[in-house]
Amino acid sequence: MFTLPNLITILRILLVPVFAVTFALPGLGARVVAFAIFCVAGASDALDGLAARKLNAGSDFGRMLDPIADKILVGVALMMLIAEGNILQFNLVPGMKGLLRLVPALVILAREILVSGLREFLAGADVSVPVTRIAKTKTTIQMVAIGAMILEPLAAAWLPQKGALTYTAVAYGGLWLAAALTVGTGYAYFRAGLAHLNPRAASDRPRKSDARARGRAGEAV
């Protein structure tokens, strides 16, 4: 269990409360530290996967813990941003500002809950849904947008007003784009779950165990 990839994943989880504390501290210096911690935690997601492949150290524990660590990091970062109110700084229609802050974050978090439930259901049904390139792109855009929002106070302090507004708009647009991609990738999981509920479709669809059996038979031949 305590292999290098798993230790990296555990470290990512342990960094989340440190990130939350430094994010909540006053001052631009603390915000820079919070950003650095978020970047290290985000980069560790790719690092543990690379270590697992290079060292051939993949494990069921790591496959279980890795997505949990990702969701904890993203969920805490989004909630901290929402609580601070830095996701949107424009004077829009009165009464809509708070809602617009919440929408992309709620979409992303709702999708993560949906996908977690569907993954558990599909795993129990021995059905695999591969990670698509769109899902990987979504994750990259999402992490970059969150990181940019963490640094928003620095942009407001150091950039001219128009530059700060442009910075915030780009960061916020990135989060909305990630939310849109989140809906698409979440629908792919949902469609796989619905298709498996159809008895005829489920009987015609190759299962993971069948694919592994064919692979073993092919190797034997």
SS3 assignment for 81-136: HHHHCCCCCCCCCCCCHHHHHHHHHHHHHHHHHHHHHHHHHHHHCCCCCCCCHHHH
Specify the pLDDT at position 58. 72
Confirm whether 215 is domain-assigned. no
Question: How many helices (H) does the chain have, and how many strands (E)?
Answer: 9, 0
Task: Flag whether pLDDT at 3 surpasses 50.
Answer: yes
Specify the pLDDT at position 208. 47
Specify the pLDDT at position 213. 40
CATH value at residue 146:
1.20.120.1760
Confirm whether 213 is domain-assigned. no
Helix (H) or strand (E) holding 31: helix 28-54
Mean pLDDT for all residues in the chain: 78
Confirm whether 219 is domain-assigned. no
* Residue 56 DSSP code: T
Q: How far is CA 26 from the centre of its chain?
A: 27
Over its C-alpha atoms, the chain yields an Rg (Å, rounded) of: 20
Confirm whether 144 is domain-assigned. yes
Q: How far is CA 124 from the centre of its chain?
A: 23
> pTM to 2 decimals?
0.79
Q: What is the domain extent for residue 180?
A: 4-88+100-205
Confirm whether 57 is domain-assigned. yes
Tally of CB atoms within 10 A around 178: 23
The domain total for the chain is 1
Helix (H) or strand (E) holding 7: helix 4-24
Q: pLDDT digits over 88-134, tens only?
A: 444 445 444 455 567 888 899 988 888 777 777 776 666 666 667 88
Whether 105 contacts 81, CB under 8 Å: yes
Q: How confident is the model at residue 136 (pLDDT cuts 50, 70, 90)?
A: confident
Q: pLDDT digits over 47-93, tens only?
A: 877 777 777 777 777 777 888 888 899 999 999 988 876 444 444 45
Confirm whether 221 is domain-assigned. no
Q: pLDDT digits over 31-48, tens only?
A: 999 999 999 999 988 887
Confirm whether 72 is domain-assigned. yes
Confirm whether 93 is domain-assigned. no
